Amino acid sequence: MIESLISVLLFTTPLAIAAVGETVNQRAGQINIGLEGMMLVAAYVAAIVAIETGSPVLGIGAAIAAMIPLWLIQNFLTIQAGRDQVVVGTALNLCAIGLTSTLYQMRFGQSGQLLSVPQLPRWGGIDGMVLFGLLLVPVLGWWLFRSRWGLVLRAAGEYPDSVRSSGFSVARIRWEAAAVGAVMAALAGAHLSIGVGGTFVQEMTSGRGFVAVALVSFGRWRPAWVLAACLLVGGAEFLKFYYQVRQTALPYQLFLALPYLVALGVLVIVGKNSRAPAALAQPFRSNQ
Amino acid sequence: MVKKLKSIVGVLGLAGLVLAGCTGGQQAAKGDSPSSAQAADGSFKVALITPGSVSDAGWNAMAFAGLQAIESELGAEITNAEATGAKIRDVMRTYAQEDYKLIFGHGFEYNAPGVELAKQFPNTVFISSSGAETATNAGSFRFYLEQGFYLAGMMGAKMSRNKHLAMVGLNVPSIVSTFRGFEAGAKAADPNVKVTTVLLTDTKDAVAVKQATLQVIEAGADMIIHQANEAARSVFDACKEKGAMAFGSNADQNGDTSGVVLASAVIVAKPAFVEVARQVKEGKYQGGVTFIGMDKGAIDFIVNPAKAGQIPDDVKAAVEQAKQDILAGKIVVPKDEF
């Protein structure tokens, strides 16, 4: 039982870190559809650097560094140029899939070998990233809802004009929020390849970035709720195999639907008071 | 104005990146265009389309080895690409238009598109690995890998401490059929052995494959065979983590660095690939399904030399006997028709 819970925790960590980072981003009024692509690039870079240097920690550092150009391009287009966030994010995803697949094939394509990546050390089944993810939630929760920075950030997502008239820069706040999101995407992606997977496979993120974006609204834009939503989905993923392995009378496909049924129930009961940031996905033009 | 200019430059920059990224995804695009002119002077061009990376040390890698043999033995000009789903037809058509004489689609899913395109491109031969549809210039291989899986099942049943084996693989007909062979071999060796199947929907999700394998080991399985293609690493890693043993599949995976691979059920595709390419080159190809098994040397079960010491002699003898029985036709390994 304990072992199962630890396993769920370990396998949910990449999703949870990405989703909590995206919460900060969305609170500032930005939706990062490119999260999937960012995670994929991070997974690739972390794997390659870990192989080259033998150090998974350096791999994580490199994954964060790799986010800098993506962060610059994406937010130049969305914040400075006011382009549609969904379109820019989608372009980023396509770019990431093409880029990582090409680089992977150039380097390992014809080698005929499976990729083995040095992994983060574990203690009792969990690694440092799991602890970091668990710590991250209260810290970011406090930051978003109890600090001055968080107040301004949330205002940038609700009513950016008020932020501007208070003497803050909406653009600057959003750049900062995007940076937090990008670092979390890097950690999440790196954890996929060098934390839980132990390998890199083309397109190995398999939609986790999109799920993370969706779970932010399911978690009502609150880090603790978002974490809970991630654990729910992670738990259902676990059950999917659990029942297939034990060959119960119930078809395992039933358990595929479980997280969605629970989500529906939660939304019906508590969804009434939940509201997305008012300025979500809207570009802010200061000259208006 | 300046702002507008900035944004245009930005969009162009991103578009450039996207294009650079996308074109690279398909190796087909690389270096093909100049060669189509050479085809007129009679060079023999052969293409391979695989469902995943040819660096999976398994299903895709063994086809790539076959393609390379065609290059070295027949002097063909070769290329390869990855394509699944809706992209299959596009990639096949592109190759056919560029005058490729032989196009291999490495899997069941390439059979129907190949037969369909064969009508439009009578000068190109389309071969798929498994599949029942044929035409005069289209056909398939049917590798009897179930035979190799049968022997793996026997060895697994005799060596499992918990009397519990597991199969982890993609949910496609050809793979499910190999699992039937594995189960039959296991039950033949020991009717009381438990065999668990875990079917996956996606082997790109290596993390989920690892989770599935860890769980089946947790449930008691200690001998695992896989059909997880590029995620095979995750299966082996999970075995290593939990102290289980594994069987390799499709290609010889005995040398895997995880050190958990006891033996491999392999397809030796080279001779079959070269043979069909020779027929196409000489204009003798007729179409049809080529059924190849152990008797033609296309299927084998190879014990890992580094692990041979751990396998009791009577197990080795029983597996060898079963191999001879299969060759002699005394054992007919079950398989699905698809």
Q: At residue B84, what are phi and psi to the nearest 5 degrees?
A: -135, 165
CA angle at A43 for the pair B25 and A184, rounded to the nearest 5° = 125
- Interchain contact, A81 vs B7, CB within 8 Å: yes
Cα–chain-centroid distance for residue B107? 7
Range scoring the smallest mean pLDDT among A259-273, B65-79, B313-327: A259-273
- List of chain B residues whose C-beta atoms are within 8 Å of the C-beta of residue A111: 55
Of B254, B255, B257, residue with least CA distance to B265: B254
Q: Is B230 on the interface with A (CB under 8 A)?
A: yes
CA angle at B113 for the pair B112 and B116, rounded to the nearest 5° = 85
Residue B2, pLDDT > 50, answer no
Nearest residue of B to residue A87 by CA position?
B11
Among A9, A95, A194, A201, the strongest candidate for a mutation testing the B interface, having the largest count of B CBs within 10 A, is A201
Q: Which of the four pLDDT bands, split at 50, 70 and 90, describes residue A218?
A: confident
Q: Is A199 helix (H, G, I), strand (E, B) or coil?
A: coil
- Would you state the pLDDT for residue A167? 92
Q: Which of the four pLDDT bands, split at 50, 70 and 90, describes residue A112?
A: low
- Would you state the pLDDT for residue B43? 85
- Would you state the pLDDT for residue A273? 65
- Would you state the pLDDT for residue B25? 38
Q: Is A162 on the interface with B (CB under 8 A)?
A: no
Q: Which amino acid type is present at position A117? A: V
Q: Is A178 helix (H, G, I), strand (E, B) or coil?
A: helix
Q: Which of the four pLDDT bands, split at 50, 70 and 90, describes residue B30?
A: very low
Mean per-residue pLDDT, A152-176: 94
- Interchain contact, B215 vs A192, CB within 8 Å: no
A 55-114 residues with CB < 8 A to B: 73, 76-77, 80-83, 88, 91-92, 94-99, 101-102, 104-105, 108-114
- Would you state the pLDDT for residue B31? 37
Q: At residue A216, what are phi and psi to the nearest 5 degrees?
A: -65, -45
- Would you state the pLDDT for residue A20? 96
- Would you state the pLDDT for residue A113? 66
pLDDT tens-digit profile of B251-277? 899 988 889 999 999 999 888 899 999
When CB atoms are compared, the residue of B21, B208, B214 closest to A7 is B214
- Return mean pLDDT, chain A: 89
Mean per-residue pLDDT, A3-20: 93
Q: At residue A236, what are phi and psi to the nearest 5 degrees?
A: -70, -35
State how far the Cα of A47 lies from the Cα of A192, in Å rounded to an integer: 9
pLDDT tens-digit profile of B216-248? 999 999 999 999 988 898 999 999 999 999 999
Helical (H) or strand (E) element with A123 = strand A122-123
Q: Which of the four pLDDT bands, split at 50, 70 and 90, describes residue A252?
A: low
User: In whole angstroms, how far apart are CA A280 and each of A84, A159, B134?
Assistant: 11, 10, 55
pLDDT tens-digit profile of B105-131? 999 899 999 999 999 999 999 999 988
Mean per-residue pLDDT, B160-185: 94
Identify each DSSP E strand in chain B by its residue range.
45-50, 77-82, 102-105, 125-129, 138-143, 164-170, 194-200, 223-227, 245-250, 261-267, 288-292, 299-303
Which distant-in-sequence residues (6+ apart) come within 8 Å of A141 by Cβ?
A: A222, A223, A224
Q: Is B299 on the interface with A (CB under 8 A)?
A: no
- Return mean pLDDT, chain B: 87
Of B45, B61, B4, residue with least CA distance to B264: B61
For residue B96 the two structure tokens come to: 């056919």
State how far the Cα of A232 lies from the Cα of A264, in Å rounded to an integer: 13
Q: Which of the four pLDDT bands, split at 50, 70 and 90, describes residue B42?
A: low
Q: Which residue is it, tokens 């039982």?
A: A1
- Would you state the pLDDT for residue B260? 95
Q: Which of the four pLDDT bands, split at 50, 70 and 90, describes residue B22?
A: very low
Range scoring the smallest mean pLDDT among A195-204, B7-16, B66-75, B304-313: B7-16
Residue B35, pLDDT > 80, answer no
Q: In the sheet where B299-303 sits, what is the strand order?
A: B194-200, B164-170, B223-227, B245-250, B261-267, B299-303
Q: Which of the four pLDDT bands, split at 50, 70 and 90, describes residue B19?
A: very low
Q: Which ipTM score applies to this complex?
A: 0.87
Q: Is B207 on the interface with A (CB under 8 A)?
A: yes
pLDDT tens-digit profile of A53-72? 999 999 999 999 999 999 99
Among B27, B202, B211, B234, the strongest candidate for a mutation testing the A interface, having the largest count of A CBs within 10 A, is B211
CA distance B136 to chain A (A): 32
For residue A126 the two structure tokens come to: 């969990």
Long-range contacts of B272-276 (CB under 8 A, 24+ apart): B272/B66, B272/B141, B272/B143, B272/B296, B272/B298, B273/B63, B273/B66, B273/B67, B273/B69, B273/B70, B273/B104, B274/B66, B274/B69, B274/B70, B274/B73, B274/B74, B276/B102, B276/B125, B276/B127, B276/B141
Nearest residue of B to residue A242 by CA position?
B215
Nearest residue of A to residue B215 by CA position?
A242
Helical (H) or strand (E) element with A127 = strand A126-127
Bigger pLDDT: A277 vs A255: A277
Residue A176, pLDDT > 50, answer yes
A 194-223 residues with CB < 8 A to B: 196-204, 206
What percentage of chain B reaches a pLDDT higher than 70? Answer: 88
pLDDT tens-digit profile of A255-274? 767 767 777 777 777 666 67
When CB atoms are compared, the residue of A99, A109, A199 closest to B234 is A199
